[in-house]
Chains A and B, each alone.
Chain A
């Protein structure tokens, strides 16, 4: 009950944020964007046809009215149809979002799980060679561009010069085995790069917790090191770690998948967004941006709630 009240309050507080994002994107995409009139007309349009299209696109209406129209679209989840394919935007989203999720989730989960494990190992052996080795590996992962990692793994695993074990592009989830074949290379690339950042950050958090007073107290009472680690250090470290993980969810789903999908030709939200960017498909762009804004607010809310569950010091007032 308390959680519900809190959630509602937070969502209301998030409204200015959503408004801000939609406003800026509206400004950039629709208002300052190129005049779309002539894209929709054929050759030699008559004056009437021009006027008709213009009114259809809403160019003859005042700014505020057009912005409100955008907001209405968001609330009703009806963004019209794609300019390039004529498919309804909502159906596009319904079709592509699951694909993006299927693509990003394994990488996301593995990247964070492995990151935490490696960080724990590194922190436990702080200063000794396992630590240096893991941190070195993390430094390399951080310095390799995501794109380079993708191409690299593609060469290694999918090309005829490499192991040629996996398909080069494409997407097929008809059977679990096929799914595995198509998701492996993208996931490997994601994990490789994510590990760099994650491990470093998580290690820093854990080391910081290790040097806290209450750990010294536990040691002074003879608590053995393994219990020390898992009880006294881990739970305390989870607070900043979980925060970061939850916070990064919207980023992963939309931004991360954009590159992967355009590269591997996977029909997800990212690819659709990218195509929309290239072709200037406004309805799709507007929909994606709005979606991300809402997702972000939700992610913030989830982060706050997670905080509450894990850290008893934080109250829901």
Chain B
């Protein structure tokens, strides 16, 4: 950032900070985010989807997605908003049910990958340069080298087809980016906080890592969690298509996989329903993730 505009900003910032007695990164981010219209709208859309998923979980709707109720391949109508599929199931109900699957996969993977990434990343960063660090880096390289699909296949193979193979494989791959970022940040932080810690002799290293350094990486973790969520949903589609994904239940990936030959025969409803719903969630989440990143960015001058 150039000196002159940063000067104008640093004055403004200093005053604001002095008035607010030390606004934290989070409060500032919240303020910025509230002004970001795209961000707010995408958050709204995501919440809408989340509510839909919640409704499915609590049985409010779409619990009858597997019921064969209508004629085969009916086109969209008032009763069947997206028509019916080849067996006669309500496509809209199936698409709605898939929202729950999407959130389930997304949340589990996001939490798992972020947690693993945070822990391993901070350990590697804190002990950077030592053998502990080398091992974690080696592990990251190894898991990076195996192509994702093959890893899922291998895990599914070894677990004899357990439905959790997909989640495990995703977590086993997605933690790496988070870990790399956390490691970098911890190395930077180490040289700051560490001096304090050294003075407080007697504090165990675990305590230093988890109470002092890790909380300063939360903004990275939050953004990475959203990225993992999106990646999980997108990967699920491909995995389900290949037969390596969701086994029981319904997902957008399974719907699309079903529709592969249907579309050549001219029946698009399955494909369109799943695609549109998935696109909506992914796009909204991506925009939200962007807005989050912008809000948490310490450089406050916005290009307008």
Contact = CB atoms under 8 A, between A and B. Distances in A.
A touches B in complex, CB < 8 A: yes
Interface of A: 16-17, 20-21, 24-25, 27-29, 31-34, 126-127, 139-140, 142-148, 151-152, 154-155, 159-161, 168, 211, 216, 250-251, 254-255, 258-259, 262-263, 273-274, 277-278, 280, 285, 288-289, 292-293, 296-297
Contacts of B278: 145, 148
Contacts of B290: 139
Interface string B266-304: 101001000100110011001100100000000000011
A146 B234 CA distance: 8
A147 B238 contact: yes
B154 A25 contact: yes
A16 B146 contact: no
A33 B156 CA distance: 9
Interface stretch (B21-29, B76-84, B92-100, B256-264): B256-264
Contact of B264 (A34, A152, A168, A292): A168
A138 B287 CA distance: 12
A25 B241 CA distance: 23
B149 interface: yes
A144 B279 contact: yes
B16 interface: no
A210 to B, nearest CB: 10
B158 A216 contact: no
Interface stretch (B63-71, B119-127, B136-144, B204-212): B136-144
Size bin of chain B's contact surface:
35 or more
Contacts of B237: 145, 147-148
B238 A259 contact: yes
Contacts, number: 137
Contacts of A159: 263-264, 266
Given A143-B286, A255-B147, A292-B145, A151 B154 contact: no
A139 B146 contact: no
Contacts of A259: 149, 238, 241-242
B91 interface: no
B157 A292 contact: no
Contacts of B264: 154-155, 159-160, 168
B146 A289 contact: yes
Interface of B: 1-2, 138-139, 141-150, 153-155, 157-160, 234, 237-238, 241-244, 253, 256, 259-260, 263-264, 266, 268, 271, 275, 278-279, 282-283, 286-287, 290, 303-304
B150 A24 contact: no
Contacts of A262: 242
A292 B147 contact: yes
A17 B142 contact: yes
A143 B282 contact: yes
B157 A258 contact: no
Nearest to B235: A145
Given A159-B264, A211-B2, A274-B242, A251 B147 contact: yes
Contacts of A143: 279, 282-283, 286
A147 B260 CA distance: 10
17 contacts: A20-B141, A29-B158, A127-B304, A139-B287, A139-B290, A143-B283, A145-B234, A145-B256, A148-B275, A155-B263, A155-B271, A274-B149, A278-B243, A280-B157, A292-B145, A292-B147, A297-B145
> For A28, A161, A254, A262, which residue has the most chain B Cβ atoms within 10 angstroms?
A28
Residue with the greatest number of chain B CB neighbours at <10 A, chosen from A25, A148, A155? A148
